[in-house]
Structure 1
């Protein structure tokens, strides 16, 4: 592929990585073991209260599943965390020292929050390997990365991530030739190249085969501990698989937390059954 077409491919993408920013990141402090604090958040759009006095706390290294009907506020919540939407009231802190409401989207990404949207956005004309190269944090011009000589530790990091996402045997394959599930894993890998402390993952298994769903569950579980992972999902079978018997599930309804607890506790909560799970019982 010629260089002009490669640059055009990159320039046309809307996927923005934190390595494009050179500003210094605030220092993250999680001495209290809570990575994300959302307190008293409310936001309205044309009179509709999308988020209504929302309180949510995510522990450092936790895997949290968030469910709720359409319009429950899940997307708006993630928009607030990542700086896309500013709330009318409330506070949002990353650890004890980083006020998310004072930062813009690039600064929040650089502080250590990565977001995976439902539809994968990868550079389809590039190889799996080159997609990961472009996702590396680096102060140099992004376009020079593909033509630069990588350091040994950079190559090791790419190999590590490729193995983690299960694409080590497809490093030279064009991303556009991957299956839907593999593209999702590649985008997760691209986020991991940024070494985020918090990963927000939106409906990762939509359109996947059962085998891909199983692999995705294994991947997300493996990321917890070294990362906090918040998964928003509608597929209840996948949520059961991901949450198991011990992980916390949060149910949003009308912009606030309706219930929280283990999957068994949530499934047996009468309010949850009435507003969300009742149709599937």
Structure 2
């Protein structure tokens, strides 16, 4: 099967893939060192308040872990940030100048927000290299992308990303032959090729081996500083490895912030123990 035929076979035409989003100049302003502002956000579905007066602030370059029981509003929060869901009230700003509530999903991706869902969405019949090359392309003509020669800057960036995600030995392998964990790393790499300022990562270690979990923790920690990374996760051992002693953990419950602080602080908070950690 040719590359073109493989792509036609596997692409989901309803999905907004990053490489299909035309690049535009961003007016992002983070002079106050806060990259994401969610203030007084509320949204209801059929009378159920999924998000209830949520206030959340993510610093530029921060790695933030967000935990909470099922139904706490974690996925809805990410849907609001990425434009999939419009809140009933409140404000959402990317930096000080970009109003997320006035933008659709492609425009938000253009502004520098990337989202990784729990299930990896790589192109399994294309190689690791082709997946990353496709994700980085500035030319929106897909068939040109997959047959064009990379310039030195693009090649350097791609090789740096391959090394970062730990797939240097797998560049010529079809993505469908990778392990579950490797597919997760590849999708993170595909998002990184778009140079996002904010990366939202949903339950990245579900179904991973312990070794893969350790490698994922190292990868996400290495991204902090160059990117802001928000990780939603249920596995408490993994959250502890990410948060360490100094990073902030936010606990959501019934659509709002129940507790926030270091991992030691939130895991010893009686309210958190009652509604989440004590389950």
Q: Is contact 1:40–1:90 with CA below 8 Å preserved after alignment?
A: yes
Quote the residue 1:208 is aligned against. 208
Q: After superposition, where does 1:115-134 map in structure 2 within 5 Å?
A: 115-134=115-134
Tell me how far 1:15 sits from its aligned partner.
4.4
Q: Is contact 1:18–1:137 with CA below 8 Å preserved after alignment?
A: no
- Aligned-partner Cα distance in 1 for 2:103–2:66: 24
1:95-151: CA deviation from partner (whole Å, max 9, x where unpaired) = 001000011000000100000000001000010000001101413312321011111
Tell me how far 1:171 sits from its aligned partner.
0.2
* Number of corresponding residues: 279
- Aligned-partner Cα distance in 1 for 2:79–2:186: 22
Quote the residue 1:68 is aligned against. 68
1:7/1:122 Cα in 2 relative to 1: closer, same or farther (>3 Å)? closer
- Aligned-partner Cα distance in 1 for 2:210–2:15: 28
Match status 1:252 vs 2:258: no
5+ long unaligned stretches in structure 2: none
The TM-score with structure 2 as length reference comes to 0.97
The TM-score with structure 1 as length reference comes to 0.96
- Aligned-partner Cα distance in 1 for 2:129–2:87: 38
Q: After superposition, where does 1:110-189 map in structure 2 within 5 Å?
A: 110-189=110-189
CA-atom RMSD in angstroms:
1.3
Q: Is contact 1:20–1:138 with CA below 8 Å preserved after alignment?
A: no
Quote the residue 2:236 is aligned against. 236
Q: Is contact 1:15–1:121 with CA below 8 Å preserved after alignment?
A: no
1:47-87: CA deviation from partner (whole Å, max 9, x where unpaired) = 00000000000000000000000000000000000000000
5+ long unaligned stretches in structure 1: none
1:197/1:3 Cα in 2 relative to 1: closer, same or farther (>3 Å)? closer
